[in-house]
A = this chain, B = another copy of it.
């Protein structure tokens, strides 16, 4: 598993709707590492109050271009957008070129490989700047098959699973991990995608691994990260019912063998992303996640993390109440409800932990 260094003095390039879905990498950085973000580059929102329009990033300026960001002392330009298929949008290219010409390194978590792009590679060589591809998978992580060994680790494994892609699994995982650590639980966040890696400086983009070895790459990471941790909070990816990316989600499920799952859902999502497939009921997801794991490990969905960002307070409370009625599980929006929401989810997770003393003793 690659250990990247932690990057500082970042300019986050969004260019476009500053919302949590189109710019999830940016939003994760602003939510979990605001102290390292110098500015956001977004010509459509220049000068506006970031906290007011995005709900995060208080006091961080929005500027129009790399040129304006340079005097602020930036050291890296981070591509903050998430696109279908992970392509680099054309309109972002001029800003990348401008950054490199000014000796500013570029960090990308997109599928489209910045380090395979002749223009970018040639510029990086010419100006001697780094081009960091967060999605690069080392060769040694492309040849292991999963055999269900994650079951054998002592740490409690908590996986965020989704009703769809791009719905709040990273945010839920990072919020829960942060809360647990504040409660003095030996929790560790396991990054499985570009957003988690960007935040923690380590991890592996499992959806980039050769399909047959995807579960093996996850398993290897779990075995490695479990040392010294009591709880592993594993960043979920995609959904087992998303036609686009379901294979990665199932590999993650079988590679990590979670004891507890947190089902992440966006209250206003009615169709699965990039398809005309309606989102099935929450209870169906719970049934299928548990059934698909059961032959290998008896992990359960113990809570629902609801993304109500597009609703007002009243509608959000109603959506949370309805999800609770539908599933019988604790439900919270960890962003809207803050610590109270985190506590509700954490309590559900820790109840699983307390139920398994024999298992821990046996393996300890």
Which residues of A are interface residues toward B (Cβ below 8 A)?
A: 84-87, 111-112, 143-148, 206-216, 238, 240-241, 243-251, 254-255, 272, 274-278, 280, 284, 288, 291-292, 295-296
Of the residues B211, B272, B291, contact of A248 by C-beta under 8 Å: B211
Q: Is the CB of B215 within 8 A of A208?
A: no
Bound complex: CA A112 to CA B245 (Å) = 25
Q: Is the CB of A280 within 8 A of B295?
A: yes
State the 8 A-B residue pairs at the shortest beta-carbon distance, nearest first. A247-B251, A247-B247, A207-B212, A145-B244, A211-B214, A148-B243, A243-B254, A211-B248
The 29 listed contacts between A and B (C-beta, < 8 Å) are A85-B143, A85-B145, A111-B143, A111-B210, A145-B245, A146-B243, A147-B243, A147-B244, A147-B275, A148-B243, A207-B211, A207-B212, A208-B211, A209-B210, A210-B211, A211-B214, A211-B248, A212-B248, A214-B247, A215-B243, A215-B244, A240-B250, A246-B250, A247-B251, A247-B254, A277-B295, A284-B295, A291-B291, A292-B292
Q: Is the CB of B274 within 8 A of A296?
A: no
**Closest Cβ of chain B: how far from A320's Cβ, in Å?**
24
Given A147-B244, A210-B210, A215-B247, 13 more A-B residue pairs with CB atoms under 8 Å apart are A85-B145, A146-B244, A207-B212, A212-B247, A214-B247, A240-B250, A241-B296, A243-B254, A243-B255, A277-B296, A278-B295, A288-B288, A288-B291
**Closest Cβ of chain B: how far from A217's Cβ, in Å?**
9
**Closest Cβ of chain B: how far from A136's Cβ, in Å?**
12
